[in-house]
Amino acid sequence: MMDRVTDAGPSTPIVLGIETSCDETGVGLVRGNDLLADAVASSVDEHARFGGVVPEVASRAHLEAMVPTIERACTEAGVRLSDVDAIAVTSGPGLAGALMVGVASAKALSIALGRPLYGVNHLAAHVAVDQLEHGPLPEPTVALLVSGGHSSLLLVEDVTSAVTPLGQSIDDAAGEAFDKVARLLGLPFPGGPYIDRSARDGDPAYVEFPRGLTGPRDMERHRYDFSFSGLKTAVARWVEARQRDGLPVPVADVAASFQEAVADVLTRKAVLACRERGVDTLLIGGGVAANSRLRAMAEQRCADAGIAVRVPRPSLCTDNGAMVAALGSEMVARGRPASSLGLPADSSMPVSEVLAG
């Protein structure tokens, strides 16, 4: 699968990337900025009846999926394991047990093949993956990463070594809010795509839901932070009041109004960060980047502010191995030293640590 034609020749190293921070077992192969393969096995169906990811279930699923997913990636790329020049793996942040499966597998491969190992930060990998689709990332870039596990605003001055957190969610992640509100509305898990679809037939101004952390005092203390738990509670109260009154819940209108509140806050703060930091590129990644309203609003507001928006295609926005391989490839290209074989699975790895020691 060659998506962009670049000049990565046969002497450019092939990097294999492994991602297991949550419920996707991802194995990607890249050469330079060329995507060779992106194999993903998801355990999402096994978590659906719990309404959220169950860590033990995810870990076991990674263990079972790892070898077949590596084999699938190699077949897709027409590459043998012995052709791989370096291994990259998500060292953190994520679910501890899930990360351990990926890290242990990557160490085994590194030893067996005699190739260097790069333990990388999952959030920085969400940023680096865009290079596979849109080419070299302008630096600095502001990145808005929104998924079931994270909502972060980052200043990326060097994706391999200088990533600074500007803000993050102080409670629920954006995707988590989508999933919880979907549940309230009787929509399936994971709820984001269902809310997105339902909202198309709804009125985004039907209910004026709260915009968390946007008041004057919050803008002093939490300028680039997000909060979605108050919004989720507001939706719950609104739905309960409606049911108490014996009235039907207008699902599409509530979905559209909720989605509008999330997209408004995310894009408002992302554009503000770009303006205040003098950055003219905004990258959006993570599963919620697939949201149609978020994308449309980001494009509109960024166009008004003279900011270029980059959003990788949906399969590269959700967790995958290609993103880890992309960051590993950039580490190799910039001559960063490899990690030690003692590298940890660090569930709370700070984003300022792009490469594990």
166 and 142 Cβ atoms separated by less than 8 Å = yes
Smallest Cα–Cα separation from 209: which of 148, 259, 168, 266? 259
Q: Looking only at residues 318 through 337 of this chain, which bind Zn ion when binding is defined by CB under 5 A?
A: 319
How many residues are present in the chain? Answer: 357
Q: Within its chain, how far is the Cα of 188 from the centroid?
A: 21
Give yes or no for residue 260 binding ligand KG4 (CB under 6 A): no
Q: Is 343 left (phi over 0), alpha (psi -120 to 50) or beta?
A: beta
Side-chain half-sphere exposure of 266, counting CA atoms within 13 A: 35
Q: Are strands 151-158 and 86-92 parallel, antiparallel or unpaired?
A: unpaired
- Residue with smaller CB distance to ligand KG4, 268 or 295: 295
Candidates 75-83, 180-188, 300-308, 314-322: pick the segment binding Zn ion (CB under 5 A): 314-322
Candidates 140-148, 169-177, 203-211, 305-313: pick the segment binding Zn ion (CB under 5 A): 140-148
- Residue with smaller CB distance to ligand KG4, 16 or 129: 129
- Max Cα-Cα span within the chain: 69
Q: Give how many residues touch Zn ion by CB under 5 A.
A: 2
Candidates 54-62, 157-165, 316-324, 343-351: pick the segment binding Zn ion (CB under 5 A): 316-324
Single residue of 94, 287, 312, 328 touching ligand KG4 by CB under 6 A: 287
Q: How far apart are CA 128 and CA 135, in angstroms?
A: 10
Give yes or no for residue 283 binding ligand KG4 (CB under 6 A): no
Burial class from Cβ neighbours inside 10 Å (0-12, 13-18, 19+) for residue 125 reads: buried
Candidates 80-88, 235-243, 299-307, 311-319: pick the segment binding Zn ion (CB under 5 A): 311-319
- Residue with smaller CB distance to ligand KG4, 13 or 191: 191
Single residue of 20, 33, 147, 267 touching Zn ion by CB under 5 A: 147
Q: Looking only at residues 149 through 188 of this chain, which bind ligand KG4 when binding is defined by CB under 6 A?
A: 149, 175, 178-179
132 and 3 Cβ atoms separated by less than 8 Å = yes
- Residue with smaller CB distance to ligand KG4, 13 or 287: 287
Instruction: From the list Zn ion, ligand KG4, none, pick the one residue 130 interacts with, judged by a Cβ distance below 5 to 8 Å according to partner type.
Output: none
Give yes or no for residue 19 binding Zn ion (CB under 5 A): no
Q: Within its chain, how far is the Cα of 107 from the centroid?
A: 24
Q: How far apart are CA 192 and CA 187, in angstroms?
A: 9
Give yes or no for residue 191 binding ligand KG4 (CB under 6 A): yes
231 and 209 Cβ atoms separated by less than 8 Å = yes
Single residue of 193, 210, 230, 250 touching ligand KG4 by CB under 6 A: 193
> Cis link prior to 190 (omega < 30° from 0)?
yes
Side chain identity, residue 341: L
Tokens describing residue 32: 């330079």
- Residue with smaller CB distance to Zn ion, 319 or 353: 319
Mark 292-331 with x for binding to ligand KG4 (rule: CB under 6 A) and - for no binding.
--------------------------xx------------
Shortest separation between residue 19's beta carbon and Zn ion, angstroms: 8
Smallest Cα–Cα separation from 24: which of 39, 4, 3, 8? 39
Instruction: From the list ligand KG4, Zn ion, none, pick the one residue 178 interacts with, judged by a Cβ distance below 5 to 8 Å according to partner type.
Output: ligand KG4
Side chain identity, residue 157: E
Shortest separation between residue 274's beta carbon and Zn ion, angstroms: 22
Instruction: From the list Zn ion, ligand KG4, none, pick the one residue 192 interacts with, judged by a Cβ distance below 5 to 8 Å according to partner type.
Output: ligand KG4
Burial class from Cβ neighbours inside 10 Å (0-12, 13-18, 19+) for residue 278 reads: exposed
Give yes or no for residue 24 binding Zn ion (CB under 5 A): no
Q: Looking only at residues 8 through 67 of this chain, which bind ligand KG4 when binding is defined by CB under 6 A?
A: 22-23
Q: 29: which residues sit within 8 A by CB, 6+ positions away?
A: 14, 15, 16, 17, 35, 36, 37, 38, 73, 74, 76, 77, 79, 84, 322, 325
Residue with tokens 């968390």: 212
Residue ranges that bind Zn ion, judged by CB under 5 A:
147, 319
Q: Which residues bind ligand KG4 (CB under 6 A)?
A: 22-23, 147-149, 175, 178-179, 190-193, 196, 286-288, 290-291, 318-319
